[in-house]
Chains A and B, each alone.
Chain A
Amino acid sequence: MGMTMTEKILARHAGLDTVVPGQLVKCRVDLVLANDITGAPAIVEFDKIGRPVFDRDKIALVPDHFIPNKDIKSAEQAKALRDFAKKHAITHYWEVGRMGIEHVLLPEEGLVAPGELIIGADSHTCTYGALGAFATGVGHTDAGASMATGDTWFKVPSAIKVELTGKPQKWVSGKDVILTLIGMIGVEGARYQALEFTGPGVAALSLADRFTIANMAVEAGAKNGIFPVDIAAENYLAARVTRPYTAVAADPDAVYERTVAIDLGSLVPTVALPHLPENVKPAADLAHIAIDQAVIGSCTNGRLDDLAQAAAIIDGRKIHPDVRAIVIPGTQQIYSEALVRGYIAAFIRAGAVVSTPTCGPCLGGYMGILAAGERAVSTTNRNFRGRMGHADSEVYLASPAVAAASAVAGHIADPREVMK
């Protein structure tokens, strides 16, 4: 019986020839990630075990959630991470001024390669599937244990094949693809399963699109999302990854629980309404919804391509007087490239605020908290109740193009309308 990409990576890391869905396996990990929120308690668990780190080159610690420190407690959590990194001579730790949002930073730094197995104490660790890795989120106890042992257990997931065809229209991007998919299958449509993206449509998606799509696999309940490795992915990797790696491809007779087909050409700019990512509607149908804030950034949409889309819409226009627009580049490298390309100047001229990389408002941390009754359009990945502030505030999830168009219009807007 053939295997899926996910099964092949799990089998390889478990030292087995084959695995089948439902099987419990113990796997070697290639990288363990933690951030300032999950890292501090992961260290507490790690210390209880009383062993050295399994490999100081295979642990990544990224202060990004409440960083630069939002208050004294956050400063203490960040310090715990920093002290641990120093004490154990952890290779991959980034200080403020050099850090970025973890899931944008790690691929950029070449810490993700095809066929690798990565766990992170953060649910959006699934982002790295865009590069053909098996990557999934775990809690801080799992992360702390793996920092000592270098392995972890998994139940081999069954898989859903997402067959992509066609080519997206202008102003349609990865966010619209994943929101449409979640709208089709629901927030638990892929629970405990792998989402394997395939088909001729993959070639029409940029790496930024793929990162966005894999990032939100968990929003459909999936354990991981994964893409095949094609020329575009190899080109992305060539500049970043120097160690050898072996990509996997699904066998032609791999078994999938079901297939979902999406014609990329048929997609429109899409928005997920509060309070679940599955509540999707075309942006064009939501012009009656006035907004108070627009957030462009996060591990979902804080990449250079995302800022380029937003800048193309905002440049030469003004942010609506009733809207606070907050732009957050995903990493320092993206920030500096956006400066060179003039995006940052365009945002500031339009009346937007631009921040250093941070998760900040995405999880209701700081830098853009919503009051009761306020509404935000956001390029982030969750619109749960209270996610970005008061329990009676609302978050509408959308692409950078929709968020930028909405920031200009003052209400939810289809970019094609604003750019007419």
Chain B
Amino acid sequence: MILEGKVWRFGDNVDTDVIIPARYLYTADPAHLAAHCMEDIDPAFAGKVQPGDIIVAGRNFGCGSSREHAPVAIKASGVTCIIADGFARIFYRNAINIGLPLVELGPAVAEIKGGDRIRIDLGNGTLENLASGKQYTIQPLPGFIQDIAKAGGLINYVKGEKA
């Protein structure tokens, strides 16, 4: 799968409360969640994000609450991939489970700026910053996590298993 898009840049410890505040959790409707995505950290985000855009962030992205509403909000806002120095663990598995690709790039995220265009080839494991021309290698997902991702998420994966 090849993804190409414009970068929205965020810092370290972006928690699930700022990704989608609890005051909006009275429904899990993706469009409703997307309308308030990132509201407490960047009120302009929900209005300006375009389908195909990519989030690049620092360390511990998605820390805090287990609310899957957070990756759902991001995915429904049109973002196709999140690249971070590192992810909090519940957010990581939630994103995989709903079929939202994540790339753990490490400290090299510092070289990517807001507004840059990047292209990610998940199949051959490469990431290119089209603004700077720099290329990076992406580590493949381990074991059956890859199978979950390939199935498009956990539910499809489980449905494919024998009961």
Contacts and interface: CB of A to CB of B under 8 A. Distances in A.
A191 B60 contact: yes
A77 B27 contact: yes
B145 A364 contact: no
Interface residues of B, number: 43
A38 interface: yes
A196 interface: no
Interface in B101-153: 142-145, 153
A94 interface: no
B93 A188 contact: no
Interface in A331-379: 363-365, 369
Interface string A38-61: 101100110011110000000000
A142 B153 CA distance: 10
A387 to B, nearest CB: 5
B93 A139 contact: yes
Contacts of B22: 37, 65, 363-365, 387
Contact of A187 (B13, B21, B39, B94): B13
B158 A148 contact: yes
Given A40-B28, A73-B27, A382 B64 contact: yes
Contacts of B71: 139
A387 B17 contact: yes
A142 B66 CA distance: 11
Contact of A221 (B89, B142, B144): B89
A74 B21 CA distance: 15
B63 A187 contact: yes
Given A51-B163, A384-B17, A149 B158 contact: yes
A391 interface: yes
Interface in A162-182: none
Given A121-B66, A123-B65, A191-B60, A139 B94 contact: yes
A37 B25 contact: yes
Contact of A24 (B41, B97, B143, B159): B143
A29 to B, nearest CB: 14
B142 A145 contact: no
Contacts of A134: none
6 contacts: A73-B26, A76-B27, A142-B94, A188-B60, A221-B63, A364-B22
Give the top 6 A-B pairs by smallest Cβ distance, nearest first: A139-B68, A73-B26, A139-B94, A41-B28, A123-B66, A363-B22
